[in-house]
């Protein structure tokens, strides 16, 4: 462990690509020790949760490289070794165990749902409510295992939680999911701001937040990475867009989909975690929220017929010679392939 902490402390103090590549051997030694630690942890967890066994420790670890495209912090590396252990490997399906080793007393081991964007949105709303008043509710659609995610929201400050669960919802597409959540939200009561994660971890579509806004007939802003001002009737936010970033003013009520860089999430207190574990979370079916079962699940407007890995692309052909000769040959090949 000493080698791991020393390497991470040095990386944090010298967070540059030049230093990282110059100390590649140190990284490999520290990484090997961390993988051994993950393997030992899996052996211990496997004594009471055998579903997590069968994975290589290396496949459960996260890279040190950070995605800095939309972040104010341009440090290229995250000075922490992290791993997520779950039945489906690194994916948090249904739930798993998260280990982070970071110097300075910032290491931790936890169990439950690892969903960054969910907790980012919850913390941001909770902070605003603390300053201006109001009530925060968290809601999701799924099976009973999804209550774990809702309890995380409660432990981070939400007052209420709701689970939409109905066998008719199985195999719902993004339209049906947004329709169901919009019906559930409308049935619960009035609202000012609805925050969603940017995208799901399965189909990666990023369509549900926009779909909820469309179903409810209210404003929407996607890919929000900063909330600048909230008034009684409007909100000013900054969002990521293809050209970079833009500042948008929207009228309330509004749906926002949140970037991970929106804020630094707070950690749940022990008191609120215990409270969240005791709360009875209500389960709502289609009848309770007024949703038409004929529009969801297997009756969704779209369906996935097949999932497959595309065939590997064949290597291209390089044409050599004079420019005129290359042009004639290239055009002829395109004609032969019926491209033109």
Q: Do residue 136 and residue 257 come from a single domain?
A: yes
Tell me, yes or no, whether 138 and 82 share the same domain: no
> Which residues constitute the domain of residue 8?
2-112
- Of the three residues 64, 85, 112, the one that is the final residue of a domain is 112
**Residue 214: inside a domain, yes or no?**
yes
- Residues 292 and 186 both lie in one domain: yes
Q: Render pLDDT for 278-311 as a digit per residue (tens, 0 to 9).
A: 889 999 999 999 999 999 988 889 877 777 777 8
77 beta partners: 65
216 or 75, greater pLDDT: 216
Q: How far apart are CA 40 and CA 216, in angstroms?
A: 49
In a domain, 305, yes or no: no
Same structural domain for residues 94 and 163? no
pLDDT tens by residue, 119-142: 555 565 556 666 666 788 999 998
| Judgement on whether residues 215 and 258 belong to the same structural domain of the protein | yes
pLDDT at position 161, please? 92
Domain count of the fold of the chain: 2
The mean per-residue pLDDT over the stretch 1-6 comes to: 90
Is the link from the previous residue into 138 a cis peptide, with omega within 30 of 0?
no
Helix and strand element counts for the chain (H, E): 10, 11
* Residues 90 and 129 both lie in one domain: no
CATH number of the domain encompassing residue 190? 3.40.50.620
Answer yes or no: pTM beyond 0.75. Answer: no
């Amino acid at each position: 462990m000493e080698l791991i902490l020393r390497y991470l402390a040095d990386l944090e103090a010298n967070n540059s690509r030049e230093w990282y590549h110059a100390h590649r051997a140190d990284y490999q030694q520290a990484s090997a020790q961390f993988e051994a630690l993950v393997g030992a942890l899996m052996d211990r967890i496997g004594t009471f949760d055998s579903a997590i066994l069968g994975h290589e420790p290396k496949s459960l670890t996260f890279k040190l490289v950070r995605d800095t495209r939309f972040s104010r912090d341009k440090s290229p590396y995250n000075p922490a070794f992290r791993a997520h252990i779950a039945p489906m490997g690194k994916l948090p399906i249904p739930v798993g165990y998260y280990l982070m080793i970071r110097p300075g007393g910032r290491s931790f081991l936890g169990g439950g749902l690892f969903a960054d964007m969910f907790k980012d949105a919850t913390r941001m709303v909770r902070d605003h409510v603390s300053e201006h008043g109001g009530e925060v509710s968290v809601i999701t659609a799924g099976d009973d295992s999804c209550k774990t995610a809702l309890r995380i929201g409660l432990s981070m400050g939400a007052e209420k939680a709701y689970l939409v669960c109905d066998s008719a919802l199985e195999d719902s597409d993004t339209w049906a999911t947004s329709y169901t959540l919009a019906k559930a939200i409308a049935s619960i009561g009035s609202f000012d701001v609805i925050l969603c994660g940017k995208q799901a971890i399965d189909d990666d579509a990023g369509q549900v937040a926009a779909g909820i806004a469309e179903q409810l007939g209210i404003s929407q802003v996607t890919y929000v990475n900063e909330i600048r001002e909230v008034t009684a009737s409007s909100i000013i936010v900054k969002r990521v867009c293809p050209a970079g970033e833009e500042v948008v003013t929207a009228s309330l009520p509004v749906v926002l989909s949140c970037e991970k860089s929106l804020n630094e999430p707070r950690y749940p207190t022990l008191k609120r975690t215990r409270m969240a574990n005791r709360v009875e979370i209500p389960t709502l079916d289609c009848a309770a929220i007024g949703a038409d079962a004929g529009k969801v699940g297997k009756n969704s407007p779209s369906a996935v017929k097949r999932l497959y890995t595309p065939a590997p692309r064949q290597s291209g052909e390089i044409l050599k010679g004079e420019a005129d000769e290359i042009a004639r040959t290239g055009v002829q090949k395109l004609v032969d392939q019926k491209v033109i």
